[in-house]
Structure 1
Amino acid sequence: MGIKSFQGKRAEPEKIMSLPILVEDYMSHSLITFRKDQLVVEVMEALIKHKISGAPVVDEHNRLVGIISDGDCMKQISESRYYNMPIGDMQIEKFMETNVPTIDRKANVFDCASLFYKHNCRRFPIIENDRLVGMISRKDILCAALKLRGQNWHS
């Protein structure tokens, strides 16, 4: 006589569909941008005026060529003392970051949060057809998380 199992038939795993919680729903579309030949002082003034910590640098066709941040401005301020030069009189091109990770507008905000953690940056430009179309910041992801807090993320 065989051993009988008292375990009933296992139910099929539930198929859980994630709601699309996309970068494009939280990204900024109207951006402050700079050109690489502008002066660092112009960046400093704009960052203060608009209460932002950095902005994309684009060419005449709105293609991303870099990012300039308040940290990059700090480098110029520090160098100006060392070389006894006026603060902010250098062009952005010398100080901007050119190896800039970007993100797809159709990416999930949770994946985006992981990328922020992995890359330790404050913002991701969003590129479409080689053109800058938006930007998502850590603050945008925090806003998304607060809006989603307490909601059922699965349907």
Structure 2
Amino acid sequence: MGIKSFQGKRDESQGKNDEQILVSDYMTTKLITFKAEDSLDHVINLLIKHKISGGPVVNDENELIGIISETDCIKHISESKYYNMPTDTNNTVGKYMVTDVDTIDKDMNIFDAAFKFISSHRRRFPVVANGKLIGQLSQKDVLKAAIKVKGNTWK
């Protein structure tokens, strides 16, 4: 009698991973946040000090109202300092922040979030629950998740 198949009995769970990796597993919860009334000089100093490229802007109730980034700060510099103009007295975060902010759900699969990064060309997404800022997911957080998955399941 010849061997018909070299494959043994298949494990039903083989190839299935019911455990999803969620945004909430990798999002940063200790955030540097800004207020709309903060000066851009204050923002620039914090971006440099903490080696970050931007951060969420919240109101007194910790509700997300915008995002301020290095690019937004550079716009301010190009509008005033480059031309040796006096600094605008209204050089606040509220004037330069982006208010149309895409957010991401804490229960989203991390790899669906990766696709959202690719399609939107964003570097970070705030995570909001019940109208309050609870964290932020960056591209680097997605890379950390990918490395962990590779170490655990990829061969």
Scaled by the length of structure 2, the TM-score of the pair is 0.84
Amino acid at match of 1:138: Q
Amino acid at match of 1:109: I
Q: Deviations over 1:94-152 (max 9, x none)?
A: 11011110001010010000000111111000001100000010011111111111433
Closer/same/farther in 2, CA of residues 49 and 88 from structure 1, 3 Å limit: farther
Output the CA distance in 2 between the equivalents of 1:83 and 1:21: 50
Match of 2:102 in 1: 101
Q: Confirm whether residue 58 of structure 1 aligns to residue 58 of structure 2.
A: yes
What secondary structure does 1:48 align onto? helix
Mapping of 1:5-154 within 5 angstroms?
Answer: 16-80=16-80, 81-82=82-83, 84-86=85-87, 90-152=91-153
* TM-fit CA distance, 1:88: 9.2
The count of corresponding residues between Structure 1 and Structure 2 is 140
What secondary structure does 1:77 align onto? helix
Q: Deviations over 1:6-52 (max 9, x none)?
A: xxxxxxxx784442101101000111001001111111000001110
What secondary structure does 1:47 align onto? helix
Scaled by the length of structure 1, the TM-score of the pair is 0.84
Identity %: 46
What secondary structure does 1:135 align onto? strand
Gaps of 5+ in 1: 1-13
Amino acid at match of 1:142: L
Closer/same/farther in 2, CA of residues 88 and 117 from structure 1, 3 Å limit: farther
Decide whether the 8 Å contact of 1:66 with 1:96 is kept in 2: yes
Output the CA distance in 1 between the equivalents of 2:88 and 2:41: 7
Gaps of 5+ in 2: 1-11
Decide whether the 8 Å contact of 1:41 with 1:88 is kept in 2: no
What secondary structure does 2:33 align onto? coil
